[in-house]
Amino acid sequence: MTRLSQVTRREFLGATAATAGMLAFGPPSWGADEAASPPGSTEHFWYRLQPAGPYVDSQRDAKAFGFSDDTVYLSEDNGRTWPHQKTFPDARHITFSYIAKNGNILFGTRANLYLSTDNLETCGPITVKNPDGSDYLPHTPQNPELPGWYFAPLAGVNAWDVNGGEMLVWGNYCSVVGGAAPPNIYYSADNGQTVKIAYAFGQNPHHRDNGSAGGGPAGTLLGNPDNPVICRHIHCVAYNPAENAFYACTGDHDRSEGYECHWLRGTYDAQKDTWDWRVVVSERLNSRYKAGGINFVDGQLYWISDANGPQPHDRGVFRCAPSDIANPAAHTQLFNPRYECANMIIQDGVILAGHYAPASPFATGLIVSPDLGQTWAEYDLQEFGRRSPVRFHKKNAEGWFRVDLRAGWINRAEVLFIKPKEAAR
């Protein structure tokens, strides 16, 4: 691969693929509307908004799951057609979806989960279980219109092959909009048929359910009363196959009761169906540990910092051995985007991350490395306005990453697809 010079800050719009030694293969195809709406192009990738139709919420191989205000949809050809659909009155409130390896579809609407095992012919409710097998039920909200985002993740990758099977493990980014909710790590080891609590954080006195969008210091306490570890919400959960262990990081504030930014390490005993979670780091919100985008490649841990609060801010894309996560001296800073970033994916050696629009001069800022952190570039896709890229999904069968574009930080806006370009040889 041609080595590209490091770019500290790069605004680039509509570049051709021929620059910087990249091979110009021409725009990749995307169905019948391709001629009317060709993809945009930078030195490193093509990009385009999703075609008109259902909001594409998740993808896997050639399948995609989407929704409108009152209908859910399943595509088997990367979103070109939607042959499977079902009326679902609460579809506009979907905050999470997952297409299992066996074809099951699990999706969440604020405080409820649903499962389809037959390509959306039927969709039935799923009751989350506590570790002891009893029902875990959502709280009765102060405001029925704001019951809380129990299942909404920031990350797009939430399932991994674990010891010969697939495990879904994710945490909720809650208490921002939609009402206060308890932060939990959930899991399923049977393609969504059973969903259980892997870890329940403690009761945060600063995010009680008071009927507001994010909660406050008065109202109903939420969470595990027996756990002293509190947070506002969960930024990311990821799996390291080299250790057979999961890692999670949380946000958001420094409190008199302690920090809300934690890193946890968890191991799962499949025979006993039990978890062992340990807090390995608790730190300030202006540190590299207020983070997201956790990825593991060849046993190495990669993440991106969302540090804010009091200066100085300890930001960047970092790498270390997992055993060194609590030792900053052992970390390598691969790139410093200078602004808050909390979403990142790594696949096939390509690193793709996004800027947090309310805190960045970029309108829609994307960070890319085509060679696992050796070289970097940044792009501002200004035509989309002020947008934050979140929920990076793995490439579909045609090589397109799927990315949410959020208005501000969390409100749903558009879906962007990004296809990396091959480098000249």
φ, ψ for residue 231, nearest 5 deg: -155, 170
The residues near 160 (Cβ < 8 Å, ≥ 6 apart) are 166, 167, 169, 239, 241
**Is there a contact between 387 and 363 (Cβ–Cβ < 8 Å)?**
yes
Q: Whole-model pTM?
A: 0.92
**Closest listed residue to residue 263, CA positions, set 276, 250, 244:** 250
**Closest listed residue to residue 317, CA positions, set 288, 290, 297:** 288
**Is there a contact between 387 and 401 (Cβ–Cβ < 8 Å)?**
no
Rounded to whole angstroms, the Cα distance separating 49 from 288 reads 32
pLDDT recorded at residue 29 = 52
Residue 423's pLDDT band, with cuts at 50, 70 and 90, is: low
Q: Which amino acid is at 253?
A: H
φ, ψ for residue 322, nearest 5 deg: -55, -35
**Closest listed residue to residue 251, CA positions, set 230, 267, 237:** 230
φ, ψ for residue 336, nearest 5 deg: -120, 105
What's the chain's length in residues?
425
Rounded to whole angstroms, the Cα distance separating 367 from 355 reads 8
Average pLDDT on 18-42 reads 50
CA distances (Å), 298 to each of 242, 266, 348, 349, in order?
Answer: 8, 19, 12, 11
Average pLDDT on 362-372 reads 98
pLDDT recorded at residue 424 = 38
Which domains does the chain possess?
Answer: 19-43+52-346 (2.120.10)
Residue 80's pLDDT band, with cuts at 50, 70 and 90, is: very high
Q: What is the pLDDT of residues 94-122, one digit of tens each?
A: 999 999 999 999 999 999 999 999 999 99
Q: What is the pLDDT of residues 159-200, one digit of tens each?
A: 999 999 999 999 999 999 999 999 999 999 999 999 999 999
pLDDT recorded at residue 422 = 82
**Closest listed residue to residue 86, CA positions, set 126, 49, 114, 62:** 114
Rounded to whole angstroms, the Cα distance separating 66 from 105 reads 11
Rounded to whole angstroms, the Cα distance separating 263 from 226 reads 19
**In angstroms, how far is the first alpha carbon of the chain from the final one?**
6
pLDDT recorded at residue 1 = 26
Rounded to 10 degrees, the C-alpha dihedral 192/261/182/116 comes to: -20
pLDDT recorded at residue 257 = 86
Average pLDDT on 392-420 reads 97
Residue 28's pLDDT band, with cuts at 50, 70 and 90, is: low
For the cut 70, the answer to whether the pLDDT of residue 205 exceeds it is yes
3-state secondary structure labels for all residues of the chain: CCCCCCCCCCCCCCCCCCHHHECCCCCCCCCCCCCCCCCEECCCEEEEECCCCCEEEEEECCEEEEECCCEEEEECCCCCCCCEEEECCCHHHEEEEEECCCCCEEEEECCEEEEECCCCCCCEEECCECCCCCECCCCCCCCCCCCCCCCCCCCCCCEEEECCEEEEEEECCCCCCCCCCCCEEEEECCCCCCCEEEEECECCCCCEECCCCCCECCCECCCECCCCCCCCEEEEEEEECCCCEEEEEEECCEECCEECEEEEEEEEECCCCEEEEEEEEEECCCCCCCEEEEEEECCEEEEEECCCCCCCCCCCEEEECHHHCCCHHHCEEEECCCCCCCEEEEECCEEEEECCHHHCCCCCEEEEECCCCCCCEEEECHHHCCEEEEEEECCCCCCCEEEEEEECCCEEEEEEEEEECCECC
For the cut 60, the answer to whether the pLDDT of residue 4 exceeds it is no
pLDDT recorded at residue 37 = 58
Q: What mean pLDDT is reported for the chain?
A: 91
Percent of the chain at pLDDT above 70? 91
